[in-house]
Amino acid sequence: MDVGGSLDRFFHMTERGTNVRIEFKGALLTFLAMSYIMVVNPTMMVDAGIDYSVAYTSTILISAFGCIMMGLYANYPVALAPAMGVNAFFVYTVVLGMGYSWIDALMAMFLAGIIFLVTSISGLREKMLHSIPMSIKRAITVGIGCFITFIGLSNAGLIVSSPSTLITLGDVSNIGVALSLFSVLVTLLFRSRGISVAALIGMVLTAILGLAVGVISPPDAVFSIPALPELGAMFTSLDSISFDGGFLMVTVSAFMVLFFDGSGTLIATAGRADLPNEGDDFARAMVADAATVSASAVIGTTPASAFAESTVGIEAGSRTGLTPIIIALFFIAALFIGPLFQIFDYHCTVGAMTLVAIAMMSEVKGIDWGDWPVSAAAVITILMMLLTYSITNGIMFGIIVYTICMLGAGRVRELNVGVVGLTLIFAVYLFSIALFL
């Protein structure tokens, strides 16, 4: 049986200029770059009252499910996992801040996911996205690239908070911070030599050095037995869920965050993979993304969506759905050999995340800087995405600024219905946040 030929035909690898070896390399790089989520997400969920072992299992299961959906249904080289930012909203805003139980929060995420799925299947999500000017879409890509690097640098200790300047350089005399700096420099060194697997080399060398100097702890064991998640826990506790005004706003807010975080990531990754961000394939990618959100709540974890670190594999050549399928297999393996994967922490992945930002920043040349409303919106999109730690905020303020500038320039007729609609939605969203959250 010609397995290679069958895979080629199913995933259209030759057509997209790739092969099994390239897809495997991209999958490995992406998995290593996003593997931190297997530790970070359960750690955050513990603060909401969920058992760590259960959270670890549910995090991996939904990641594998989402990757398989994206690979088989959409044939897109995009991995899915619990979204950073959404999990913080779930734990620290909804549960700890507003006092809802984690069961309440799961139900809100489930309902938000259903709304999300309906807009994706109906085509409304795609219509809203394509109403956004191309230059702002490119600004979204640039902003996500900066955002990815900011996450990596801050979690690796290279940049830290400061009471006087908000952020500042980390303590490079600290051995952990120095290790992170080594990750960045050695990765850039190998990439400058034209080595396509520079990100992987940087991760492995950093992990080895980290083990040697004691920053990274060796695994206590090789194998681990996964704990079973509480499937559909919110359905068995319907009588205890608080369906009040605050709950409604949590649901709406979650929908807004998921809609634009996932959409922005899909636009950016499609662009980097030279795939269209419209048409049947892109529509299926959005449906796979939305379906995974609803499934997340059923499995018992924070919403999973398109992961921006997918661009690490895309920059290494991934172009088809075989990549997320392979990533799903890595996640499933991690259920049983999780301790081995946990050595690749932020110290190891910050170099790869920096390469992603460099690649994505190239989109800045496609922005029409000679058009004032466009350039103003692009700058605000990038800055707000980075400085508010939110892809959604960047898109929201970028669209609002674009509309305001177009009104000021007397170009009202150039505004399409989609942009006007988005501006009104965002205005209501901001007003609702001020009142309820």
Between 306 and 268, name the one with better pLDDT: 306
198 domain residue, yes or no? yes
Instruction: Report pLDDT for 3.
Output: 63
Q: Is residue 305 within 8 Å of 25, Cβ to Cβ?
A: no
Mean pLDDT of 340-365: 81
**100-139 residues labelled b (16+ CB within 10 A) or e (exposed):** bbbbbbbbbbbbbbbbbbebbeeeebbebbebbbebbbbb
Burial (CB < 10 A; 0-12, 13-18, 19+), residue 331, is buried
Residue in 61, 84, 80 with CA at minimum distance from that of residue 72: 80
Residue 94 pLDDT class (50, 70, 90 cuts): confident
Residue 326 pLDDT class (50, 70, 90 cuts): very high
Structural domain harbouring 199: 16-364
Instruction: Report pLDDT for 379.
Output: 95
Maximum mean pLDDT: which of 2-6, 137-141, 147-151, 406-410: 406-410
Residue in 59, 62, 8, 60 with CA at minimum distance from that of residue 321: 8
Maximum mean pLDDT: which of 64-73, 314-323, 340-349, 356-365: 64-73
Q: Which two tokens stand for residue 142?
A: 């640039």
132 domain residue, yes or no? yes
250 pLDDT higher than 60: yes
Instruction: Report pLDDT for 223.
Output: 81
Place of tokens 């995009």: 78
HSE toward the beta carbon, residue 170, CA cutoff 13 A: 20
Using DSSP's 3-state secondary structure scheme, residue 160 falls into: strand
Q: What would the pLDDT profile of 192-220 be if each residue is shown by its tens digit?
A: 998 867 887 888 899 999 999 999 888 88
402 domain residue, yes or no? no
What is the share, in percent, of the chain residues with pLDDT greater than 90? 41
405 domain residue, yes or no? no
1 pLDDT higher than 60: no
Residue 316 pLDDT class (50, 70, 90 cuts): confident
7 domain residue, yes or no? no
In terms of C-beta distances under 8 Å and separation of at least 24 residues, what long-range contacts does 238-243 make, across chains too?
A: 238/107, 240/101, 240/103, 241/103, 241/104, 241/107, 242/100, 242/104
Mean pLDDT of 399-418: 93
Taken in order 172, 177, 179, 181, the sign of the CA dihedral is negative
Residue 34 pLDDT class (50, 70, 90 cuts): confident
Q: How many residues does the chain have?
A: 437
335 domain residue, yes or no? yes
Residue 348 pLDDT class (50, 70, 90 cuts): confident
Q: What would the pLDDT profile of 272-305 be if each residue is shown by its tens digit?
A: 778 877 778 888 999 999 999 989 999 999 999 9
E strand or H helix that includes residue 132: none
176 domain residue, yes or no? yes
98 domain residue, yes or no? yes
The structural domain count of the chain equals: 1
165 pLDDT higher than 80: yes
- CA gap 369, 101 in Å, rounded: 47
Q: What would the pLDDT profile of 367-401 be if each residue is shown by its tens digit?
A: 999 999 999 999 999 999 888 877 778 888 999 99
- Please, what is the average pLDDT of the chain? 87
Global pTM value: 0.76
Instruction: Report pLDDT for 387.
Output: 87
437 pLDDT higher than 70: no
